[in-house]
């Protein structure tokens, strides 16, 4: 196998592993809660509570950070995004109104933006970040 092909295969395997991990985390945190809570005044909330979504985010933060510190930015971003998008689709696709597609798209865009931002910050911090004096930032002089 060529060195370039081997690198591509390893990146795809990393992305696949992160996608599987993200889908499993969705199942653990959100997959079991499928009903809305009806309050005494008739209002409905749910099906997810804030603590479930926060738990999912914190759980996925660790592998994204781990991958980003090792400069595996594309697998961290694309794998996590793909995993959560597929999990949301599978979980919500039984909605007959068709509005689940909007939610799935929002999950995809939000996950893509969040994982890209986290990965970029970690990668910049790992490289030491740009020196402020040479980039037109804050400098004394």
Taking 50 as the threshold, does the pLDDT of residue 46 lie above it? yes
The answer to whether position 40 is within a domain reads no
The answer to whether position 58 is within a domain reads yes
The answer to whether position 38 is within a domain reads no
Determine contact, residues 29/93, Cβ cutoff 8 Å: no
Cβ neighbourhood burial of 11 (10 Å; 0-12, 13-18, 19+): middle
What CA–CA distance (Å, rounded) separates 52 from 63? 18
Residue % of the chain over a pLDDT of 70? 89
- Mean pLDDT on 91-102: 88
The answer to whether position 137 is within a domain reads no
Q: Between 96 and 59, whose confidence is greater?
A: 59
The answer to whether position 104 is within a domain reads yes
Residue 56: per-residue pLDDT: 96
- Domain, as residue range, for 113: 3-33+46-130
- Mean pLDDT is lowest, of 17-21, 23-27, 91-95, for 91-95
Cα–chain center distance at 134: 33
Cis peptide before 51 (omega within 30 of 0): no
- If one counts the domains in the chain, the total is 1
Mean of per-residue pLDDT scores for the chain: 86
Residue 133: per-residue pLDDT: 46
The answer to whether position 109 is within a domain reads yes
- Mean pLDDT is lowest, of 10-24, 75-89, 98-112, 117-131, for 117-131
The conformational region for residue 68 under phi > 0 = left, psi -120 to 50 = alpha, else beta, is alpha
Determine contact, residues 57/121, Cβ cutoff 8 Å: no
- Mean pLDDT on 46-65: 92
The answer to whether position 139 is within a domain reads no
């Amino acid at each position: 196998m060529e060195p370039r092909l081997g690198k591509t295969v390893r990146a795809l395997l990393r992305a696949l592993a992160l996608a599987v991990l993200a889908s499993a985390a969705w199942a653990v945190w959100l997959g079991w809660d499928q009903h809305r809570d009806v309050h005494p005044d008739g209002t409905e909330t749910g099906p997810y509570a804030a603590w479930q979504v926060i738990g999912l985010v914190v759980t996925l933060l660790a592998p994204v950070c781990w991958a980003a510190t090792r400069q595996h930015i594309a697998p961290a971003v694309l794998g996590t995004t793909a995993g959560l998008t597929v999990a949301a689709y599978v979980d919500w696709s039984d909605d007959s109104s068709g509005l689940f597609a909007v939610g799935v798209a929002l999950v995809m865009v939000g996950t893509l933006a969040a994982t890209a931002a986290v990965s970029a910050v970690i990668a910049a911090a790992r490289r030491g970040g740009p020196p402020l004096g040479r980039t037109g930032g804050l400098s004394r002089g």
